[in-house]
Amino acid sequence: MSSKEKKSVTILTESQLSSRAFKDEAYEFYKELRKSQPLYPLSLGALGKGWLISRYDDAIHLLKNEKLKKNYENVFTAKEKRPALLKNEETLTKHMLNSDPPDHNRLRTLVQKAFTHRMILQLEDKIQHIADSLLDKVQPNKFMNLVDDYAFPLPIIVISEMLGIPLEDRQKFRVWSQAIIDFSDAPERLQENDHLLGEFVEYLESLVRKKRREPAGDLISALIQAESEGTQLSTEELYSMIMLLIVAGYETTVNLITNMTYALMCHHDQLEKLRQQPDLMNSAIEEALRFHSPVELTTIRWTAEPFILHGQEIKRKDVIIISLASANRDEKIFPNADIFDIERKNNRHIAFGHGNHFCLGAQLARLEAKIAISTLLRRCPNIQLKGEKKQMKWKGNFLMRALEELPISF
């Protein structure tokens, strides 16, 4: 989208927000929005009218605003509810990311024990072993596609073992995950995604049947026990929760590891600084989360009660979408916001969200990134981008900021 085209656009569509062209120029576009149109109109097809939020202070306010709901059933009457776009939609959407208190609190409590600081630290040796094993496979070649060979398998192996699901199914999860986070309402895409989600539901049903017969000390077995008690978790919530843990358990971390590596290789002074001062790793991770936020746009929030923002009435049933990527580049909050600085102080980014829906797996993602990047730099001291920066392509995707691939040599 060129600068001229941006000025002529009065309403953005889902397909535009999801395009590769938008991803390439998004930061410049967001900068314009923060200056002049911090509340930008969206047309979201079957979802109706929406608004894109680009400023940090607005994002913080709205992520905690009780007038916004994640569960559309808390906004729409029975007559107003839209028909499901996908046949398997109901089976896969009853999770905590789409819920409001008190349901959200109930669902989050069921899994948060597995993501406490103590539990995450216990995974450190396992994650280190996985990182070393993955590099053992590619190091003799002096080359790898970091996404496929390292950033994707590392977190999917970790979450698979936590949940108790077979590692050989991990490539299927990748395909199903893309269908879940694809917001397209184009008829051909809907049909394809519905087919893929049908496969995912069949897989989950088979997995749950096996876990009922042979429960183990994994997270899915614990959720099945909660569902069997009848008061803590419904069957639909069980399937939705497993789906969410699989997808969210690796998708953000893949992007964090990839985007951080990319940022370091595009800023050689920062890469060298990190090599010389490895104690800056935690700070570097926070800066990577801010600079190329793994989740670019939030999932939708529905307006339950009208309110005024920047002189504009946000009406009941309007959709609010917050650009975490834009908020994390807000010049009023982050001095020199477009500069990648691994020593940045007071880095109050919101890459993991804010409020009730702050990412449950944030600590795990940080630990995985710390081990992955530290191990990569230690074992591959001559790492460099294979090809030119302009050849690197961002995926056309609504929610995520993700590179299609990241070829590197070492």
The domain segmentation of the chain, as residue ranges, is 3-409
Q: Dihedral sign for Cα 79, 81, 83, 88, please.
A: negative
Residue (of 364, 367, 342, 362) closest to 283 by Cα position: 342
Which whole-number Å values give the CA distances from 196 to 45, 87, 94, 178, 199, in the listed order?
A: 21, 11, 18, 9, 5
CA 88 to chain centre: 21
Sign for the CA dihedral angle at 186, 294, 355, 244 comes to positive
Residues 221-241 have pLDDT tens digits of: 999 888 766 667 888 888 899
Taking residues 109-128, what's their average pLDDT? Answer: 92
Confidence at residue 185, expressed as pLDDT on a 0 to 100 scale: 62
Predicted pLDDT of residue 314? 97
Please check whether residue 344 is in contact with residue 280, taking contact to mean a CB–CB distance below 8 angstroms. Answer: no
Q: Which residue has the higher pLDDT, 322 or 88?
A: 322
Q: Which of 262, 304, 271, 238 is nearest to 72 (CA)?
A: 304
Tell me: pLDDT of 1 over 60.
no
Fold of 3-409: Cytochrome p450 (1.10.630)
pLDDT reported for residue 186: 67
Residues 6+ apart with CB under 8 A from 110: 222, 223, 226, 232, 233, 241
pLDDT band with cut points at 50, 70 and 90 for residue 62:
very high
Quick: pLDDT tens for 309-350: 999 999 999 999 999 999 999 999 999 999 999 999 999 999
Q: What are phi and psi of 314, to 5 degrees?
A: -95, 115
pLDDT at 8: 47
